[in-house]
Amino acid sequence: MIWALTIALAYLVSWAAIPHLLLQHKRPLASLSWLLGLFLLPFPVLPLYLFIGTDRLRRQRLARRPPPDHHGEPVTVTSEKDPCMASLAALAEHPWAKLENPRFFSKGAAFYEDLLEKIESARERIWIQFYIWKPDERGRLMLARLVQAARRGVEVRLLVDELGSVETKESFFKPLREAGGHFSWFYTVHPRRNRFFFSLRNHRKIACFDGAVGYIGGMNVGLEYEGKDRETGEWLDLHLRGEGTVLEQLETVFAEDWYFATTERIRVRAGSGADVGGGFPALVVESGPDERYERNHLALGAVIGAARERLDLFTPYFIPTTELIHHLALAALRGLRVRLVICQTSDIRMLIDIGRSYYRGLIMHGVEIFEYTAGVHHAKALRMDEDWFMIGSTNLDVRSLRLNFEANLYGRDAGFRAELDPHLDSIFEHCERIRPEDLEDLPLGRRLREGALRLLAPIL
């Protein structure tokens, strides 16, 4: 009798969640998947829905207008004559700026060495945010340098995602606060503020120093990014350092995230990344579940649609949206050489299986697919034609494109591409190309596993 009442109560509670689901305005397929699950299987669908079912939130944003003492606007270096650049500027809601003295990092050791140098030389302020901050040797060293900077009077602000860094305790960052620095979790989960957004994460990796130098890319803080984790082995990634007026856009992203986390307003200083001549067009596109639309999802479609000769995309995780599949297929059908590089190794095995279930349709339309086999290739990047590139935090998966807080930097410059291209070309030397015949006569077990896991893609 008690068991029957428990089951009946579970069904009633599960059905009570259906109105909440219908008010979320999710994609029809995702809504239908959740609806059937809640109606038929309260265990385990209801706990899963409560944990990851909400994919939108509202937050008060900082005013995008410059403060009264702002004496200079970011330099607009484009015109509406270029439809793709105009589209990206409209999506980002700010004009194209300039990126100067760019340098990219593909190995964690070089990236951390450069970042530590900037921490040690900072004189006024350090703003840093990461998705993952491991409490390992690398994380302790980085924190110790921030503590030293705070003790010498530098304004240090560190923002970390509490879900991405779940294995790191808040007490780990206590020395920074004691030294006069500022630390905060991003706080998508905060009961006192009525936040229970377990599925929404700040995946951005940004650092800004003295209003002069900024970083954006895919690396977090941990020994695995230096290839020192035995399980993951060799690790390649992409992070970009640069100067110029685009830095103001990076600082604005940080300032708004800091406000969301702490309710403290910090000001993006007038003249951050001042234009000193030279440089090339660059634009930061941020996206998140608090936006009116999926900025980086749409930006990706705009760039793919604008490609004229070739397009290469690099991602560690591949769970594409229907729109992304269509963009890639149409680009290949237009005669472009479209190449997709996906990491063969993942910390979550089922993500590989889900991604592979999409291979056949893409290859059929002419998309070339490569799997990186020499370790972990964690970069999130794009190159198009002879001068376009993108480096950022967005994976080609549903979570990054629709759920996470992400930030990507788009740029156009043949000179920088000439520096970046040899590295990206070398990636293909460590890849296996997936050919149509490789997808024939697959074991029944693999086909069933991929087909079953693919059903999860709409709700991930």
pLDDT at position 45 over 80: no
How high does pLDDT run on average in the chain? 85
CB 246 within 8 A of CB 214: yes
Structure tokens at 30: 């995702």
pLDDT tens sequence across 215-256:
999 999 999 999 988 777 889 999 999 999 999 999 999 999
Among 182-196, 244-258, 349-363, the range scoring the smallest mean pLDDT is 182-196
Q: Residue 209: which H helix or E strand, with range?
A: strand 206-209
More confidently predicted of 192 and 306: 306
Q: Confidence class of residue 31 from pLDDT cuts 50, 70 and 90?
A: low
Tell me what pLDDT residue 351 has.
79
DSSP code per residue over 406-455: EEEEEEE-HHHHHHHHHHHHHHGGGEEEE-GGGGTT--HHHHHHHHHHHT
Estimate the crossing angle of helix 42-52 against helix 2-16, to 10 degrees.
40
pLDDT tens sequence across 147-173:
999 999 999 999 999 989 989 999 999
* Strands 381-384 vs 388-392: parallel, antiparallel or unpaired: antiparallel
CA distances 239 to 112, 174, 207, Å, are: 10, 28, 11
N residues, the chain: 460
**Placement of tokens 């856009």 in the chain:** 249
Highest mean pLDDT among 16-20, 22-26, 126-130, 446-450: 126-130
Mean pLDDT on 341-349: 82
H helix runs in 203-283, sequence order: 247-262
State phi, psi for 221 to the nearest 5 degrees: -110, 110
More confidently predicted of 405 and 32: 405
Tell me what pLDDT residue 425 has.
98
Tell me what pLDDT residue 402 has.
87
**C-alpha to C-alpha distance for 272 and 211, rounded to whole angstroms:** 4
Q: Confidence class of residue 83 from pLDDT cuts 50, 70 and 90?
A: very high
Among 26-30, 272-276, 390-394, the range scoring the smallest mean pLDDT is 272-276
Tell me what pLDDT residue 290 has.
78
Q: Confidence class of residue 274 from pLDDT cuts 50, 70 and 90?
A: low
End-to-end CA gap in the chain? 36
Q: Confidence class of residue 52 from pLDDT cuts 50, 70 and 90?
A: low
pLDDT at position 323 over 80: yes
3-state helix, strand, coil in the chain (%, to 5): 40, 20, 35
Domains of the chain: 2-52 (no CATH), 95-282 (3.30.870.10), 295-459 (3.30.870.10)
State phi, psi for 234 to the nearest 5 degrees: -60, 135
Residues 6 or more apart whose CB falls under 8 angstroms from that of 115 comprise 142, 207, 215
Q: Confidence class of residue 50 from pLDDT cuts 50, 70 and 90?
A: low
